[in-house]
Amino acid sequence: MSFKKFGFIGLGLIGGSIARAIKRSRPDSYIVAYTPHKETVDSAHSEGIVDKPLYEIGNDFSDCDIIFLCAPVEINNENLDKLAPFINENTLITDIGSVKTGIHDKVKELGLENQFIGGHPMAGTERIGFSNSKASLLENAYYILTKTEFTGEEKIKPYYDLVKEMGAIPLVVPFMQHDYITAAISHVPHVVSASLVNLVHDNDSEDQLMKLIAAGGFKDITRISSSSPVMWQQICTTNSYNISDLLSKYIDSLIDIKLAIDEHDGDKLYNFFNSAKQYRESFIETSSGPIMQTFTIHVDIADKPGNLAKVATLLSDNNINIKNIGIVHNREYERGTLRIELHDQSGKDAAINTLKENGYPIRNS
């Protein structure tokens, strides 16, 4: 099976990134797309990502080789109902939702189990919409595929190969197991992140001093709270059993550590933080997947005009490519006044050597 014509229903951050990745790896591919927002498909068409913008779900999808359902999880079910009369028996249907049980139930209801493979690219940013999509968003991210009991290998392989072409890492997982895993590593963390933001909001002083100095660890752990409220509302309602089960376990662990804090139980507190540290550090020993190793150094510089530019110029003059650079205003959890992120270990090593040779104090991290 060879994919030549691609259909998209929904074209936001993830759908747009998939479409861009397909156009990058297969420039001769033909893409048709529908979204409820005319300006989105028109923009995608003007950029050359979509070959034919569509303004309704209809017969234009009937000769697609593969169709991506890229709306929020509950809307995907509604769109599949609308799409069903136009689906060719040779067309593969997939989705991008982070909850799989609902779409698998809908596929079974419609009798489409032999031509459906669930998909979940485990990538994203706090920004949403097609305007923020990019082909590179999928690179080195796990892309989960979920089969039905009627999905044959002849359907899986071309999709599996397409995912690899996008630069992602395909992984076949049973759909019910997928929903429990994503509840633990994605859905519950979003609930926790939002609750922490609301905690600061509800307990800040009138002059909002908490908000002013919130940085470092707080910003890192709450960054994902900027994601779409509508999307997370739907995820919580469609994967409610798994999220609730894991939240109960999390609440029990919080109560347990609160008791250790109240009782000044040093051993228990140390074991709590040390266990988390050891397990978290084991994540970044892998060279692939959504949690990637970072190559960061911290540099002490005087707070004077032009000093940041001097460091950036020094590295540039030595052909060292900087991925990110910025002043650290709150260093409660950071060391050094300037944070520099490099693309790889060789770049990090070169930056350390260059800066040290020029008298800059380095704090490795």
Structural domain boundaries in the chain: 5-173, 178-262, 295-364
| Confidence class for position 365, pLDDT limits 50, 70, 90 | low
Report the pLDDT value the prediction gives residue 293, as an integer from 0 to 100. 58
Alpha helices in the chain (DSSP H): 13-25, 38-46, 73-83, 101-109, 153-165, 175-182, 188-203, 209-213, 216-222, 229-238, 240-262, 266-283, 307-317, 345-357
Q: Mean pLDDT, the chain, as a whole number? A: 87
| Confidence class for position 344, pLDDT limits 50, 70, 90 | confident
Where does 178-262 sit in CATH, by number? 1.10.3660.10
Neighbours of 176 (CB within 10 A): 13
Report the pLDDT value the prediction gives residue 264, as an integer from 0 to 100. 97
Spatial neighbors of 220 by CB under 8 A, at least 6 apart, are none
| Confidence class for position 336, pLDDT limits 50, 70, 90 | very low
| Confidence class for position 23, pLDDT limits 50, 70, 90 | very high
pLDDT at 215 exceeding the cut of 80: no
Mean pLDDT confidence for 28-34: 96
pLDDT in tens, 319-335: 999 988 877 654 443 44
Residue 32: phi and psi, rounded to 5, are: -110, 145
For 322, which DSSP code? E
Lowest mean pLDDT among 2-16, 139-153, 174-188, 329-343: 329-343
Where does 295-364 sit in CATH, by number? 3.30.2130.10
pLDDT at 363 exceeding the cut of 80: no
Report the pLDDT value the prediction gives residue 332, as an integer from 0 to 100. 40
Mean pLDDT confidence for 270-296: 72
For 321, which DSSP code? P
- CA nearest neighbour of 43 among 67, 12, 66: 12
Lowest mean pLDDT among 73-82, 184-193, 236-245, 332-341: 332-341
Residue 255 · residue 156 · CB < 8 Å: no
Where does 5-173 sit in CATH, by number? 3.40.50.720
Report the pLDDT value the prediction gives residue 339, as an integer from 0 to 100. 82
pLDDT at 21 exceeding the cut of 90: yes
- Name 326's bridge partners: 339
pLDDT at 286 exceeding the cut of 60: no
pTM above 0.85, yes or no: no
Domains 5-173 and 295-364 share a fold: no
